[in-house]
């Protein structure tokens, strides 16, 4: 498969790129800064220089044409303010979804966040983030032109992955390693029967491949 990842230099994205490249997929990662390109090349991915905060739908669609699947893993990051939660976590996600539809790429996997909700209350930066992610998820899931899957991990850690997770519509709060999130994303990309699902993910006791198969088609 050819897979294009938005937010290609993110911590989860770099892990995912390594996994996909190692299994023989053709991977491209969208990045904002040229100096990030070497990290993608080392991960086995082709760097694509494009700023999702300023690009047009057609510019993004041009980068997506010919892809079999796309992953939205971009984020404004923990040090960003309220404005960029809207322009990246909501705006770029909406743009990327519209571009995928225009490019004819149906398979669309979103890295969201547990607690994402367009009706989330509060004015703190994290409140705004959860609302922005929720609004983006609501937009994506309303598009008929996409076979979407929304993945909502719990608290992210940099511990070594265990390969054991809990993946359900509702898991409750918990932590999960970035390694395991990437492994689940790779499996979701291979499992088209998970289209139409919003899934929460935390660490657990079920092997990744088994966990994905068990929710597929539900």
> Which residue numbers are catalytic?
129
CA distance 195 to 178: 22
Per-residue buried b or exposed e for 181-210, using 16+ beta carbons within 10 Å of the residue's own CB = bbbbbbbbbebeebbebbbbbbbbebebee
Tokens in use for 26? 């053709």
Decide if 109 contacts 189 (C-beta within 8 A).
yes
Query: Ramachandran region of residue 140, left (φ > 0), alpha (ψ -120 to 50) or beta?
Result: alpha
Dihedral sign for Cα 147, 110, 182, 130, please. Answer: negative
Find the farthest-apart pair of alpha carbons in the chain and give their distance in angstroms, rounded. Answer: 44
Query: Ramachandran region of residue 49, left (φ > 0), alpha (ψ -120 to 50) or beta?
Result: beta
Q: H-type helices in 23-146, by residue range?
A: 37-43, 57-64, 82-84, 93-103, 125-141
Dihedral sign for Cα 111, 138, 141, 7, please. Answer: negative
């Amino acid at each position: 498969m050819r897979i294009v990842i938005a937010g290609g230099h993110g911590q989860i994205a770099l892990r995912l790129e390594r996994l996909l490249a190692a299994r023989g997929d053709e991977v491209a990662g969208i990045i904002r800064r040229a100096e990030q390109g070497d990290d993608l090349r080392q991960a086995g991915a082709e760097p694509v220089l494009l700023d999702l905060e300023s690009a047009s739908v057609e510019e993004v669609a041009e980068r997506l044409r010919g892809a079999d699947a796309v992953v939205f893993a971009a984020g404004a990051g923990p040090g960003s303010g309220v404005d960029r939660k809207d322009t990246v976590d909501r705006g770029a996600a909406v743009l990327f979804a519209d571009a995928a539809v225009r490019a004819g790429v149906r398979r669309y996997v979103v890295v969201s966040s547990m607690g994402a909700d367009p009706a989330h209350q509060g004015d703190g930066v994290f409140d705004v983030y959860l609302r922005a992610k929720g609004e983006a998820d609501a937009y994506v899931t309303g598009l008929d032109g996409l076979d979407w899957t929304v993945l909502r991990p719990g608290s992210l850690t940099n511990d070594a992955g265990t390969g054991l997770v809990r993946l359900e519509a509702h898991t409750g709060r918990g932590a999960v390693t970035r390694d395991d999130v990437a492994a689940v994303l790779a499996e979701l990309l291979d499992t088209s029967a998970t289209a139409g699902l919003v899934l929460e993910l935390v660490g657990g006791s079920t092997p990744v491949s088994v966990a994905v198969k068990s929710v597929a088609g539900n």
